[in-house]
Structure 1
Amino acid sequence: MAIPSGATGKEPFLPRTLTVLREGYDGGTFFKDLAAGLTVGIVALPLAMAFAIASGTTPERGLFTAIVAGFLISLLGGSRYQIGGPTGAFVIIIFNVIMKHGYDGLVVTTLLAGAMLLVFGLCRFGALIKYIPYPVTTGFTAGIAVLIFSQQVKDFLGLSMQSVPPDFFEKWQAYIHNAATFDPATCGIAFLALGAIILTRKTIPRIPGPVVGVVLASLTVWALGLDVETIGSRFGGIPTELPTFTLPTVTLERVRQLLPDAMTIALLAGIESLLSCVVADGMTGDKHNSNVELAAQGAANIASVMFGGIPATGAIARTVTNIRSGGRTPVAGMIHAAVLVGFILYLAPLASFIPLASLAAVLMVVAWDMSEMHKFLRLLHAPKSDVLVMCLTFALTVVIDLTVAVYVGVMLASLLFMRRMSEVTQICTCLDGEATKVQGRETAELDVPEGVKVYEIDGPFFFGVADRFQNVLAALDRQPEVFILRMRKVSTLDSTAVNALEVFWRKCRSDGTQLLLSGVRETMRTTLRRMGTLSLIGEGNICENIDAALARAGQVLAERREAEDRPQ
């Protein structure tokens, strides 16, 4: 996964809107933003409603989200070009939360997620996004795509089903069982919209395909008088008034129930919003501030559900549309929100004529784009551990739950990474002046006197290596009089490794062996001092380099010989 630019934590904590206005904002820039905002607003209209319907709620909640969250993400965010709103990444988890806890449960979940994002941003955790492994994001994104596609089959084919089972396999069994109930008119409208979207994207990519598909399908239904399900027939249309502020009720028990889902929403919002910023930076050469962006995402999600919306994040497709349409500043994103306000106030009745089959077609295209099939197939040729992480994350997302998939995927990837890191660290020895290979690495020749053994740790010394360190040293055929442990190539040292050193020191002391450390870096020396290890080993036994360590070894040997020769 790419590391977001602007994630160093050293940038001023200011919204990009403020920095842009300080640089100067003229009429020419405004008209470019106006054109881009109008275009993105038109594109966002069907997507916002489609994502809300797929999430198990009503279409106006998607519009409210695009208005409130979209405006705040642009106003407060750390990118010049980011467009925020409901996205496909949230569809499945929103659907599951609503199924289990209702919309009120979703409100509390999103408030918690928003608070987490605010904390992440204010604590300057923006750079942490790079620690989410690429196979994990690829696996759960592809899994979400499969689930979104599966959810749309009923509306796409017009199946006569009272409800759709939430479980993946049960869902497809129900589809197969009710396949004979498909509606030809609904199928025809769905394929018309799908064909229009694909054809528009291939021939006139500057025109938003989803808008063409939805408009063409709606006109066809109206002109032919087809009896297909529409937004009006299922939901009674959408309100012609803007949402009002509602303060939710939050209890400790509710927080405990919903915290895992809130963490998943916060994680997904952070990943998708910062990846969207990275895409925008790559297209424009700009540099976003990831910490400001995370804080803005948090504030936007809190406000969204307080005004009747659903979770939101940066939307890659709409952000790219904004850039290609000539958007120059965050004002374009605010205009996009204003366009949606105008639609609700003046054109809301038209939404009643939109066939649900056309929105299903839009979401099927979204699912295909999300799957990024070429990337998924390409990763199948990656190292086996990466393939395992991706496939397991994908399978858990589809079969079990997105929350479980993300946590298991990250944990497994972390464990595999630690195993790789432990394999990178080598433990080498040099005996009696002869170069010797241990663990596949050869040390430089040293003039090692008899009775002295030299070992070297090459790489990070952490808990993944500590056990192997103890096993290698325990396998020594005989204990020397002096044992030198070279640490010049140790880049990091954790508490488990320190404990392993102390255990080895006690073994050396019981065997009458003097332990010397060589080439210990200052940062690790500080750690050893704070943990009391230096006082055990002795400051005089910590040597700057191998030459000093060998000289100290010679001194120890001489003292012992002198003691042995001294009359009893």
Structure 2
Amino acid sequence: MTSSARIPAPPRTQAENAPAAPSARWRTSLRRATSLLPGPSDYRGLRRTWKGDLLAGVTVGIVALPLALGFGVSSGLTAEQGLITAIIAGLLAAVFGGSNVQVSGPTGAMVVVLVPIVASYGAAAVASVTLLAGLLVLAAGVLRLGRVVGIIPWPVIEGFTLGIACIIFMQQIPLVTSPVQAAPGEHSSNALVAAAQALSAADPGYLLQALGAVAVVVACMLIAPRIHPSVPGSLIGIALVTVLCAVLPGPLARIGTIPATLPSPSLPALDPALLQVLLPAAATVAALAAIESLLSARVAAGLADTGVYDPDRELVGQGVASVGASLFGGMPATGAIARTSVNVRAGARSRLASVVHALVLLAVVYAASGPVGAIPLAALAGVLFMTAVRMVHLATVRTILRSTRADSLTFVVTALITVSFDLIAAVLIGVTLAAIFALRGISRSSGVTLEPIRSAQPQEGDEEILAVRFDGQLFFVSAERVFDTVMAVGPVSVVILRMSALEAVDASGAKILSEIVRGLERRGITVLLKGVQDDHSALFRKVGVLRALRHQKHLFVQFDAALEHARSHVRRDRAARQLTEPQAAPTSEEPTARTERR
């Protein structure tokens, strides 16, 4: 017969007994750090997708050319700076970013922020702002803040997009009203006011010719997709207007000379006094870059099976992209939703497409800088007019406005603040407004119902028992209302708090429950607690809800057991009251207690 005794294990050595936690933590930190860097896995399927990626890269490069030029001019800088940003930032974000198909570069939203910065500090300050913003975005990625964008509600995103579209549209009006670009500070930094100022000082003859150029570009952009989706209508329109202006000389302002090479990289001016002044502007740019890039990457992930995106690495990539652009005198870059959508729909499945897009734009600088410099600014305005219009989806706007009053109000307020004041303020106010409405909804969904006892076998004294049923969530927003409702109960002997339908509770809600229990007990009302869920019991214990009960036996799982215990309390209380009540002598007019019971 073998013994079932366990054989003792040999004693462990000192090395085996040493804690492995520091080494494990170091490996975890190293793994998390390397996950933010490029690796061979980024190009795992390249052998299968490279042909489609090359075609998509060329396509999106052609689409991005007029946008890069236009956004550079609209921001108060130069077309060259927009092109440099699309090349440098587009390449760096493609390699270091967290999305396989994201296309980065200058965007309309960034232009909206840059215009007041250029007006206040001059064009020379943009490189320093770009550097600071890039470092802030990079730090946000390293600190793993990429998931924060998930808290932005859909109505806020759409209101923000609508406001940006309106601003982009209005920013083009000065380009079609005068052959001379306004000097920094000449027009208001608010796009609506600046558009009104430009229209009031417009040259009618110039305006007519500029609108003709806009009409040609818009017509090409509308007709080209009907011929074939891959036909670049914007580029055709720009080429046609450029040729017409060369054949029929007119006053339309041109882009001007563009260098045939990239400038040499250099560190922007880092004067401490200037940096302190520019830091708030850089923080605004960084917040916008992070929000727009993450939204674009999230949209791209849902367009096709291109793999998941890493939001933290996306922030790192966008930060590196803006830092790189600043070294070449460029402007801040973000992920571009429109160009990313074109990239995916053109067949992009890996980062190669975004890299090729940047190389196509680089080839334009070295091989076609002369023709590009001859492009009329009005033609670029036409492209951006159409870009702004296409950013607004009427079906989406109607859906939000018809959804709920809270969502429609959030949408409208966000759009109005975006146009009237500031983009980041619009997002913050929109999120705050949505949170207020959400808390209000939670407050209304937090139900507390007073239920008299209605049993299939009623017993004498049931009218002295009251059940209080809690439904939904019990958070700080509804705690006071619940307290007032429960404490307003009439003269009863026992209250059963039914907690099984309580979905969620926070510390404030638990604190209110403990105050309800203590308040009722002080009034001589016995409180029984029924159906406390396992998820809530630890919180109730820590906050003092269970400790507030008169006895630990006043905690029940089933309602029938709680009701029976409540009835025993009522019987005992009635018996005690009968013993303490004075016995009055019966009179001829008053029946005795014995007669009354009969």
Change (3 A) 1:314 1:525: same
Structure 2: distance between partners of 1:205 and 1:60: 28
* Distance change >3 Å, CA 131–CA 451, structure 1 → 2: same
Q: What residue identity is the alignment partner of 1:497?
A: G
Q: 1:310 aligns with which of 322, 325, 331?
A: 331
Corresponding position of 2:506? 494
Aligned to 2:171: 151
SS of 1:142's equivalent? helix
- 1:349 counterpart (350, 370, 375): 370
Match of 1:194 in 2: 218
RMSD, matched Cα: 3.5
Q: Does 1:470 align with 2:493?
A: no
TM-score by length of 2: 0.81
> Superposed, which structure 2 residues align to 1:254-265 within 5 Å?
258-259=279-280, 262-263=283-284, 265=286
Cα distance, 1:60–1:547 mapped onto 2, change above 3 Å: farther
Q: What's the counterpart of residue 496 of structure 2?
A: 484
Equivalence for 1:175? 198
Change beyond 3 A, Cα 1:104–1:266: farther
| Runs of 4+ with deviation above 6 angstroms | 10-13, 445-448, 561-568
* Aligned partners of 1:487 and 1:518 also within 8 Å: yes
1:159-558 alignment, distance < 5 Å? 162=182, 163-183=186-206, 184-232=208-256, 236-238=257-259, 240-246=261-267, 249=270, 258-259=279-280, 262-263=283-284, 265-267=286-288, 269-284=290-305, 286-433=307-454, 449-478=462-491, 480-537=492-549, 540-554=553-567
Q: Deviations over 1:525-564 (max 9, x none)?
A: 2223333444344755443343454355456556756877
- Counterpart of 1:5 in structure 2 is none
C-alpha separation in 2, matches of 1:223 and 1:405: 46
Return closer, same or farther for 1:364/1:380 CA change in 2, 3 Å cut-off.
same
CA apart distance, 1:134: 1.6
Structure 1 counterpart of 2:9: none
Q: CA contact under 8 A between 2:131 and 2:326: conserved in structure 1?
A: yes
**Distance in 2 between the 1:267 and 1:187 partners?**
32
Structure 2 residue corresponding to 1:137, chosen from 154, 157, 176: 157
Q: Distance in 1 between matches of 2:157 and 2:40?
A: 32
Helix, strand or coil for the counterpart of 1:457? Answer: strand
Q: Is the 8 A contact 1:243 1:308 kept in 2?
A: no
Kept in 1, the 8 Å contact 2:292–2:334? The answer is: no
CA deviation map 1:31-51 (0-9, x unaligned)? 332222222222212211211
CA distance in 2, matches of 1:468, 1:558: 32
In structure 1, C-alpha distance between the alignment counterparts of 2:460 and 2:114, rounded to whole Å = 68
Q: 2:116 aligns with which of 91, 96, 108?
A: 96
User: Once structures 1 and 2 are overlaid, which stretch shifts more, 422-431 or 267-276?
Assistant: 267-276
Count of residues paired in the alignment: 545
C-alpha deviation, 1:355, in angstroms? 0.9
2:461 and 2:378 mapped to 1: Cα distance?
80
Report if the CA contact (8 A) 2:171-2:195 is conserved.
Answer: no
Residues 140 and 315 of structure 2 are in contact (CA less than 8 Å); yes or no, is this contact kept in structure 1?
yes
Structure 2 regions of 5+ residues with no counterpart? 1-30, 582-598
Query: Residue 461 of structure 2 contacts residue 571 of structure 2 at CA under 8 Å; is this kept in 1?
Result: no
How many Å separate the matches in 1 of 2:362 and 2:405? 50
On the 8 A contact 1:189/1:358 being kept in 2, the answer is yes
Rg comparison, structure with higher value: 2
Q: Which secondary structure state, in structure 2, belongs to the residue aligned with residue 484 of structure 1?
A: strand
Structure 1: 5+ residue stretches without partners: 1-9, 436-444
Matches of 2:66 and 2:91, distance apart in 1? 18
1:355-378 CA distance string (max 9 Å, x none): 111111111011101122332234
Distance 2:302 2:96 in 1: 18
| Percent identical | 30
Paired residues of 1:108 and 1:250 also in contact (CA < 8 A): no
Mapped to 1, the partners of 2:110 and 2:398 lie a distance apart of: 24
Equivalent residue, structure 2, for 1:442: none
Q: Is the 8 A contact 2:451 2:468 kept in 1?
A: yes
| Deviations 1:484-537, CA, capped at 9 Å, x for gaps | 222222222122212322332332232122333322222322223333444344
Output the TM-score relative to the length of structure 1.
0.85
Match of 1:3 in 2: none
Change (3 A) 1:508 1:356: same
Secondary structure of 1:535's counterpart equals coil
